[in-house]
Structure 1
Amino acid sequence: MVPHLITALNGPINELEQRILDSMPAIERWFRLEWMEHTPPFYSSVDVRNAGFKLAPVDTNLFPGGWNNLTPEMLPLAVQAAMAAIEKICPEARNLLVVPENHTRNSFYLSNVLQLKRIFHQAGLNVRFGSLSSDIKEPTTLNLPTGESITIEPLIRTDRRLGLKDFDPCTILLNNDLSAGIPGILEDLNEQYLLPPLHASWSVRRKSRHFKAYEEVSKRFGKLLGIDPWLINPMFSHCGEVNFAEGTGMDCLTSNVDALLGKIKRKYKEYGINEKPFVVVKADNGTYGMGIMTVRDVKDLDALNRKSKNKMSTTKDGQPLSEVIIQEGVLTNERVNDAVAEPVVYMMDRYVVGGFYRVHAERGVDENLNAPGASFVPLAFADSGRLPQPGEKPGSSSPNRFYMYGVIGRLAMLAASYELEATDPDAEVYD
């Protein structure tokens, strides 16, 4: 069943949808030419927000979990994309080693890595799991509530290669974002492909760098379509030295929040939007919806209580938060069963392979939905309607809306490829 889309059936978002559908051949050609020049991330997921007057990515994950939330109907797309990706990187590959997060007790996460195993097994690879956790000292089988089980083994590092007992892989797939830092066991590997590369990890990546690249992509795409890039791009700024617990660096935060709220206000006035602008302050690196707060008024920063300050002091794996991105808040106008929802687009290589709605019944339209209590509704494309329907009225066809989400997801993925090129330690020239 396709979730019912109740986004307003008029206004800028439908004009944008119409422009995108009318420009489909030009858009697909543009992407083809980009992928001739740039290498897509191995896999990625993008959180998209549809405000009804604006559609923009708000987060791009290069170590996506949640593969278990894709529908079985979409699995063949993921398998084909996996085949294409592996063929480009290591066509002779037989073995794939997956290095998961250390969440050995999180059954949802384990279902996600099992889904990855299914995808790559059907793409023709032997798949096993090796853990970075020092707690895994021997092969450990974990049972899931679904009745399935997963075996995680200790990693074995020889002089220049990484594997498991009696298992020497050509390719190593990280499903661990290395928030706590890059372990030495993953460095200096010889003739093994580590995907994504180490500089894609959160110990190196910065959201501000990603959205700077996305800003460049959205300007070029806006020129192609003849639209204001703001309609697909969240404005942002950055503060490099902030300590919420000690209250240092708050001047930088206050001035940037104030300036960004002013810019959003001017854009809202230009488009006749009667909404209250807001910004989202979040850790410049890291994931899992940690270290995030919504600010509607600069005075809110003066009134932060101890609980809020503590929440903003650390991110995943207890890493201290010192750099923040201040991002234009994008409302979500999507609903699933009356609960606030946002689409998440999943990609492998350069292909959209599915997605789902992240739904949160207890959160507002201007709040982060990646929080405890969230549920997931797959974007279940109807069998006969997966492809966009050019003749449909804007806003009336789910496949058209999903195609639009996929375009925005691929723009963010392209920005990630720019970002990874710029931070590649082995590149001859990078800034």
Structure 2
Amino acid sequence: MTAIKELLHTKISENFDKIEEWFESKRKSDLQLPFYSSFDIRDSGYKVAPIDANLFPAGFNNICQVDKNSAVDLVEAYLQKHYKLAGNKILLVTEEHTQNAYYWDNVFTLKTLIEEAGYEVRLSFPNCLEAPIEVKSASGPMLLVEPNRKVDGELYIGDWKPDLVISNNDFSQLNTCWSDGLKVPFNPPSEMGWHRRKKSLFFEIYNELAEEFAKLIDIDPWQIQVRSESFKDFAVDDEDSRKKLADHCRKMSDSLREEMKSRGINEEPFLFIKNDSGTYGLGVIQVAKPEDVENWNYKSRKKMKAAKGGGGISQVLVQEGISTQVKGHEGQVAEPAIYMIGCQLAGGFLRTHTKKSETESLNSPGAVFQRLCVSDLKVKPEGSPQENAYGWIAKLAFLAVAEEAKRSGVKLMGYQ
């Protein structure tokens, strides 16, 4: 079997005009495109697909400098195309974990990109902060986070009134007394935060689009899809609930084994069980054998209770595990992460880990980020199979996010 990365690169190159036309037709439908997004992608050699989709990406500091330079133009183009703002004031709403210096590197990078695109940017939290605070980023710059107040649906920092709010807070918990009744345009919208969003809907839509795309370029859809199924009414401490989940995993494993065998792949399938509304790598556990679920020890059960903001987990995603054959610059196990501004590729990096295997989750403490520059596609597309293949998987995933918002009834206020 031809390596999927090379196969995708060849097919995309051969059908480029056709798939560009298809992508544009999707983009120009009634979809509203979020300001940014990021996607973690796995490439097993015979299959490549996203395994996570983030609407509030927090790793812009990790993209290469060339991509950062190009991203300024993408920010300007997106905002000028989709918003007719009265002024140039943008409020960047951030997460509140002030001790994570690397997160503030991400915020500093985002703030800089937007400022270099011609906008005035200030920072705040989505709550009633009592006084300004200064936070330090890992690379050194200090950032000022200021209190905001809501007056008749508008936000103010002193007398300063933003024309647009860009959120980098994923709203795992929604402060409704702050968010309700806001009249200022907000992108991405808080309604797409993890207090409401479900991974299962995203993957359902992604797999539909992947099937269309595969037919367009004449490949097996299975090679770019990822089996993902929702399991509701989950209670990790309930023995009967764990048994039902184990049965669900067993059926999926048996089905995956047959699918792999029919394609000449003699490997044992594995699964991941994830919080269906989870983020930050919390509430994720690998399952090698379905019966292991029934026998989870205290540590495993505790792991499946962990959710950002302290909320419990009542619905999980059972997902096909995709191993990675991608290597870092020094041979480490790696996976690509692709960042987007609107529907355009904005950057990427390789997430590497020296203490994880090819089947394990790399989104965990100890991960190190290495260069993956999507700007290389502009220089020599035919010589960039990695960026081309992973870039188009990210574009499919981006369409899925936009369609997810539409099916969820979420509208972008002020969007054109």
Query: Shorter-normalised TM-score: what interval?
Result: over 0.9
Kindly state the Cα deviation for residue 270 of structure 1 after the two structures are TM-superposed: 1.5
Distance 1:231 1:145 in 2: 39
Of 371-380 and 322-331, the range deviating more from structure 2:
371-380
Kindly state the Cα deviation for residue 295 of structure 1 after the two structures are TM-superposed: 0.7
CA contact (8 A) 1:199 1:424 kept: no
Aligned to 2:253: 261
Matched, 1:281 2:273: yes
Distance 2:170 2:4 in 1: 36
Of 256-265 and 111-120, the range deviating more from structure 2:
256-265
Distance 2:126 2:411 in 1: 25
| Aligned partner letter, 1:245 | D
Distance 1:255 1:56 in 2: 25
Kindly state the Cα deviation for residue 81 of structure 1 after the two structures are TM-superposed: 1.4
Matched, 1:41 2:38: no
1:44-123 paired onto structure 2 within 5 Å = 44-92=37-85, 93-123=87-117
Sequence identity percentage: 32
Indicate how the Cα distance of structure 1 residues 388 and 281 shifts in structure 2: closer, same or farther if over 3 A, else same.
Answer: farther
Distance 1:291 1:223 in 2: 35
Matched residue SS, 2:172 = coil
1:361-400 paired onto structure 2 within 5 Å = 361-380=354-373, 386-390=378-382, 397=383, 399-400=384-385
CA contact (8 A) 2:239 2:294 kept: no
Residue 137 (structure 1) aligned to one of 107, 130, 133: 130
| Aligned partner letter, 1:179 | S
Distance 1:163 1:282 in 2: 38
Deviations 1:198-239 (A, max 9, x none): 221111110001111112111111121122211101012111
Of 104-113 and 373-382, the range deviating more from structure 2:
373-382
Distance 1:354 1:145 in 2: 20
Matched, 1:28 2:20: yes
Matched residue SS, 1:168 = coil
Aligned to 2:154: 161
| Aligned partner letter, 1:112 | N
Kindly state the Cα deviation for residue 12 of structure 1 after the two structures are TM-superposed: 4.1
Aligned to 2:140: 147
Deviations 1:401-426 (A, max 9, x none): 10111100010110111110011256
CA contact (8 A) 2:242 2:294 kept: no
Aligned residue pairs total 409
TM-score w.r.t. length of structure 2:
0.94
Distance 2:338 2:410 in 1: 29
Distance 1:238 1:295 in 2: 15
| Aligned partner letter, 1:406 | G
CA contact (8 A) 2:230 2:318 kept: yes
Distance 1:46 1:182 in 2: 26
**Structure 2: gaps of 5 or more residues:** none
Matched residue SS, 1:294 = strand
Distance 2:375 2:181 in 1: 46
CA contact (8 A) 2:108 2:137 kept: no
Residue 332 (structure 1) aligned to one of 313, 321, 324: 324
Of 50-59 and 33-42, the range deviating more from structure 2:
33-42
Distance 1:322 1:388 in 2: 47
Aligned to 1:312: 304
Aligned to 2:216: 224
Aligned to 1:184: 177
Indicate how the Cα distance of structure 1 residues 425 and 74 shifts in structure 2: closer, same or farther if over 3 A, else same.
Answer: closer
TM-score w.r.t. length of structure 1:
0.91
| Aligned partner letter, 2:114 | F
Distance 1:426 1:382 in 2: 31
Matched residue SS, 2:39 = strand
Kindly state the Cα deviation for residue 82 of structure 1 after the two structures are TM-superposed: 0.9
Aligned to 2:119: 125
Aligned to 1:5: none
Deviations 1:274-317 (A, max 9, x none): 32210110000020000001111112112211000001013111
| Aligned partner letter, 1:168 | K
Deviations 1:237-285 (A, max 9, x none): 1111111133352233122211111121112112111322101100000
Kindly state the Cα deviation for residue 356 of structure 1 after the two structures are TM-superposed: 0.4
Distance 1:162 1:71 in 2: 34
Indicate how the Cα distance of structure 1 residues 165 and 243 shifts in structure 2: closer, same or farther if over 3 A, else same.
Answer: same
**Structure 1: gaps of 5 or more residues:** 1-8, 391-396
Distance 1:183 1:378 in 2: 39
Matched residue SS, 1:352 = strand
CA contact (8 A) 2:5 2:389 kept: no
Kindly state the Cα deviation for residue 89 of structure 1 after the two structures are TM-superposed: 3.1
1:235-274 paired onto structure 2 within 5 Å = 235-274=227-266
Matched, 1:401 2:401: no
CA contact (8 A) 1:388 1:400 kept: no
Distance 2:240 2:195 in 1: 23
Distance 2:205 2:155 in 1: 33
CA contact (8 A) 2:102 2:138 kept: no
| Aligned partner letter, 1:158 | V
Aligned to 1:418: 403
| Aligned partner letter, 2:400 | A
CA contact (8 A) 1:98 1:127 kept: yes
CA contact (8 A) 1:388 1:403 kept: no
Distance 2:81 2:381 in 1: 32
Distance 1:41 1:116 in 2: 15
Indicate how the Cα distance of structure 1 residues 381 and 350 shifts in structure 2: closer, same or farther if over 3 A, else same.
Answer: closer
| Aligned partner letter, 2:103 | Y
Indicate how the Cα distance of structure 1 residues 426 and 45 shifts in structure 2: closer, same or farther if over 3 A, else same.
Answer: closer
Kindly state the Cα deviation for residue 90 of structure 1 after the two structures are TM-superposed: 2.4
Distance 1:114 1:12 in 2: 36
Aligned to 1:171: 164
Distance 2:276 2:213 in 1: 25
Matched residue SS, 1:119 = helix
CA contact (8 A) 1:237 1:256 kept: no
